[in-house]
Amino acid sequence: MPNMMSMTYGMEVQHTKDKITMYGELNDVYRRIFLDGRKPAQKVLDDPTFAGYSTGHWEGDTLVVDTVAIREDALFDSFSPHSDQFTVRERIRFTSPGILEDRITSTDPKALVEPFTSVRTYRKVSAPNDELREFSCAEGLASVK
């Protein structure tokens, strides 16, 4: 996180009342955004993950997502390191029918002079045979010992 939101392959989004789950075809990644008002427990903060821990709320038609507990060895833009104080805030909204914008602001008082903002845009695809597939580079790994 937030590099995983670059999603060069397909992404599927499932939205329920209390949670949004994003599945990415590249490397079979997934991410959950909790919408039920919870705060991350201390055990979550003490055990960071590559996707981090995301909570969100709605401000009108914009989903505001805060992500914490991101592993320090998860490079935030494929090559830049960060510290244990790294956080991400996203503002996700439809800018037009079928076009989703994700405005991503990365903050880290130890590693960045100022917050860094990037914008990702996704296009909805509705082809009848369009579905996520297992990432092909993962094929055959079961036989690796």
pTM (2 d.p.): 0.83
| Domains present along the chain, CATH in parentheses | 3-143 (2.40.128)
Instruction: For residue range 37-73, list pLDDT tens digits in order.
Output: 999 989 988 999 888 999 999 999 999 999 999 988 8
In this predicted structure, what is the pLDDT of residue 17?
A: 93
CB 53 within 8 A of CB 43: no
CA angle 71, 73, 75 (to 5 degrees): 100
Strands of 29-34's sheet, edge to edge? 11-15, 19-24, 29-34, 53-59, 62-68, 87-96, 99-107, 116-123
- Cis? peptide before 2, omega within 30° of 0: yes
Q: What is the pLDDT of residues 76-96, one digit of tens each?
A: 666 677 888 999 999 999 999
Query: How many whole angstroms from its chain centre is CA 139?
Result: 24
